[in-house]
Every structure is written in structure tokens, then in C-alpha cells.
Amino acid sequence: MSTTLANPPETPVGESEDSKTQLQKIIMSTRDLPAMPQVASKVLELSSDPNTSAAQLQQVISDDQAMTARILKIANSAMYSCSRKIKTLTEAIVMLGFNSIRSLVVTSAARNLYNTRKSRSGLKERLLWEHSIGVGFACRLLAQKHAPALTEEAFLAGLMHDIGKLVLNIRIPEQFDEIVQVVYNENLSFHVTEQEHFGFTHSEVGALLVNKWKLSPILEDVIRNHHNQEAMSPDMPLLLYLDLANQLCHKMGIGFSDEPDLNVFESPANQILGLSEETFSETTAMLQETLETEMEIFV
């Protein structure tokens, strides 16, 4: 499905038009932006149905050659560490399972947004994508060790947490460029700067997108609150792992932010989870190695 844009709003964001109305317009008034590709949407629908067979999934995915190729590449990456090379889509579905295939399909759909003709793909887009992939890896590593049942959802949470920035970059590029300049030059955070300029943040935009793509309500809630420290609680472990993963990537300089002195161990999220300093050291080392060896698969 092609990505199309409605004309940008004549009224600058955050001025005479109510910011919440503007927020809704950015997502809901754009017919195809950013719509889940048809094949990906069908795969997500099938993968949530317990009566779906691997053959049915294979048939739908194989209609999209680019998605098929990307799934096979990622399935053979260190991220999944399969004991033998996966050569066919059917093998990937059987060996990895429906949840993992769902993650890979969403990854492919999200990556396509960075290649749209309107996005003026360049350094900014690459930094946004690399940060998203980095947080996805980190969140997956943390969950895989400490909450295995959340592994795939953790990867999606990391991957999608900043997708609202991309939507703003596509929908209102000039205004988003101003945000990037302020963040980069003044070393400020995106969400605070967005709130001051727009009256809303990329977290709210991203949550609307997740809702439009019909992903899980939990994922929607986590993305909406990933900068909300008051939402951190033992009842939302996925949000806690996402917060730690995001901090690790900021500490490592993956993306726009570079905060080498950030103390992730003593952060509010870890006061709840209680992960050891050794855990963070190990995760950082594994994340660095993964990014060095696997990033090109995702870009």
C-alpha cells in the first residue's frame, strides 16, 4: 500500500488550533499515513488466530518478496541464534513461532516508513532508526533474561517506542527539523521540546499509530507512557524494561542523545526491577556486539 500525505496544516502546530485536535489530524486525517502494509496487516491478523497454520502464514508473507527476504535475514541473525541455517520461509515460521514472525513483520513494516519518498531519508532518519533498533535489541536482551514471556513484545516496544518521531518527520518535516536542531544544539530531550513547541509529544503520536496498526493495547500504553516516570510500577514490567533499554542506548550514544554519565543502575525503573550492575554491563557488551554485527541486516 502506498504512503500518501494530506496537505500540511495551514495553521502552525501549537498556535490557534487546539493541540489535541492537531494531534488527531496528524494521524487520523491522513488516509494512508502511516498505514500498516496490507500483507503485514493480514499476517498480524492470522498470527493472532490460534487456528492459523504455518502454511497459511507462509502463503500470505510470500506475496511480499522484500518482506520475505528481510524475515529470512533476521531469522538467521544472532538475534535468534538458531542451531542451523533457515533457508525457507516455512522453516522460519515453524522454528521461530508466530510471535517472532509477528515481530519481524512489524519490523519490516516500520522500516518501510523510513524509505518513503516523502521522508527525505538521510542522517536524521538513520539516527532515528538506529536508536529504535538499538532500544529494541536492548529491551529484548533484558526481557529474554529476566522475563522470557515478554521477549518478543519487548523487542516491539523498543522498536516502536519512538515511531511517533518518524510520523512527525513525515507529516510536519519543517517543524520537526526545528525540534531536532533544538535537541541537538541545546542538549534537551525530545519530549520536553515537543511539548513546548507542539503541545503534545511523539509518545502520544506513536500510541495513536500503534492503535491504528491494531497492535496490542499493552504496547500502546507502554509507548504512550515511555517518558512518564509516574507510570513506572511493578504492574508494568514492559514499560520498566523499555525505560532501562532506552537509557542504555542514550548512555551508549545510539541515536541523537549521548549521555555517557547516565546512571542506569540507580534509575527509578531499576529501583523497582532491582537488576544488578553486572546485568547492565553484560547487556551493554552484548548490545554493542549485536549492533556491530547485525545492524546492517536491519538498515
Helix axes 151-160, 98-113, angle to 10 degrees: 10
For 84-118, the pLDDT digits (tens) are 888 899 988 888 888 888 888 888 888 877 665 44
Please report, for the chain, the start and end positions of each structural domain, with discontinuous segments joined by +. Answer: 36-113, 119-299
Helix axes 89-96, 98-113, angle to 10 degrees: 120
Cα separation, 274 vs 234, in Å, equals 11
SS3 at position 210? helix
The CATH architecture assigned to 119-299 reads Orthogonal Bundle (1.10)
Cell 493541540 found at: 19
The pLDDT of residue 237: 96
**CA quadruple 209, 211, 216, 218: dihedral positive or negative?**
positive
Give alpha helix (H) positions in 50-172: 54-61, 65-75, 89-96, 98-113, 123-146, 151-160, 163-171
Q: Which of 283, 295, 294 is nearest to 77 (CA)?
A: 294
The pLDDT of residue 119: 46
Task: Give the three cell numbers for residue 7.
Answer: 496537505
What string of pLDDT tens digits covers the 299 residues of the chain? 333 333 334 444 444 456 666 666 665 554 434 667 788 888 888 888 888 888 889 999 998 888 888 888 888 887 887 778 888 999 888 888 888 888 888 888 888 776 654 445 578 888 888 899 999 999 999 999 999 999 999 999 999 999 999 888 888 888 899 998 898 888 788 999 998 888 889 999 899 888 888 888 999 999 999 999 999 999 999 999 999 999 999 999 998 778 888 999 999 999 999 999 999 999 999 999 888 887 777 76
The pLDDT of residue 12: 42
φ and ψ at residue 116, rounded to 5 degrees: -65, 145
CA distances from 163 to 107, 157, 260, 297 (A): 11, 10, 24, 19
